[in-house]
Amino acid sequence: MNSPESDDFDIYLIDSNNNIADENNSLVSLYKQVKENWEHLPIKELLNRGVIVSDELADVVAFISASGSTQRLFRKSEKSSQLYGSIWAGIINNRAHKIESSQKIQSFDLNLVDDLFLERVKNLSLVPKEIVNLPSLFLEVGIILIYEPTIKSSLIDGVVGKTITDRPYIGMSLRHNRLDNFWFTLFHELGHICQHLEMLDTPILDSEDFEATSDIEIEADMYAKNNLIPRHLWNRSPLKFGHHYKLKSIIDLATMVGVHPSIVAGRIRRERRDYKLHSGLVTEFNTRTIIWGEE
């Protein structure tokens, strides 16, 4: 379908009293916004991913309406990367609801996301290929974890939100294919679930490219850091102070903590803001290759 022309048809909604809904009706407004922004929407991408069944306007509107991202999609200040990020988050929302409706899943209970569960999760980092089994592990505590390739120039690494039944879900784009980024993003999103659950009716989109400035992002960052490498162990490690960057020192701390050495290397790079450090270690495994077989 080509871009829908503004005069192709008029959009009317009928309310329960058989009155034509006024122009401010949210669905009417969404139809108009989609039509006006049609050329900027990744319609082919949505078709290829199976989240819309046709390139008809009604199907695209239905997807966006159900995506949980309508408030941010068509802001006048929205850049294309932000638009694609919001649509990607909508795909995650769509997939989460399909998983929830097609499987019998453990009811979510925040008490299940305890220290024992977090230890089980991070210990899987010791065997990089085990990340393929994380979605099944997360379902055991009622959280839906989805891996979904990024869209075009989207800058989003992860999203966290809730389904209409209040079940939390996490989406990860693997935009950066490094193991350290994977684990930090995953625990960052877990931080939102454990600390900001009541705020997740509106999905939170996260990107490594932007420094955390809001309180909730700083809190989620700290949650990720301290759960991957406990604060007391990091604070007494010479690695914190920029000493002993040798591989043995990194492996020693990783062994003590029970994580893959790339997670420690990633922490050093992040703290020192020197992303040339240990590049060979953090790129040793390609997460996209592990998950999707991509090179």
Could you tell me the residue ranges of all domains in the chain?
A: 107-292
- pLDDT band at 238; cut points 50, 70, 90: confident
pLDDT at 79 over 80: no
pLDDT of 241 reads: 76
Determine the average pLDDT of the residues in 257-264.
Answer: 96
The verdict on pTM exceeding 0.85 is yes
Residue 256 CB neighbour total at 10 angstroms: 13
pLDDT of 153 reads: 81
The candidate with the shortest Cα–Cα distance to 176, out of 206, 145, 146, 216, is 206
Share of the chain above pLDDT 90, in %: 64
In this structure, of 4-18, 75-89, 258-272, the range with the lowest mean pLDDT score is 4-18
pLDDT of 285 reads: 96
DSSP-assigned states of every residue in the chain: -PPPPTTS-----B-TTSPBPPTT-HHHHHHHHHHHTGGGS-HHHHHHTTS-SSS-HHHHHHHHHHTT-HHHHT-TT--HHHHHHHHHHHHHHHHHHHHHHHS--PPP-GGGSSHHHHHHHHHGGGSGGGGGGHHHHHHTTT-EEEE----TT----EEEEE-TT--EEEEE--SS--HHHHHHHHHHHHHHHHHHGGGTTS-EEE-TTS---SHHHHHHHHHHHHHHS-HHHHHTSGGGGT---SHHHHHHHHHHHTS-HHHHHHHHHHHHT-TTTTHHHHTSS-HHHHHH---
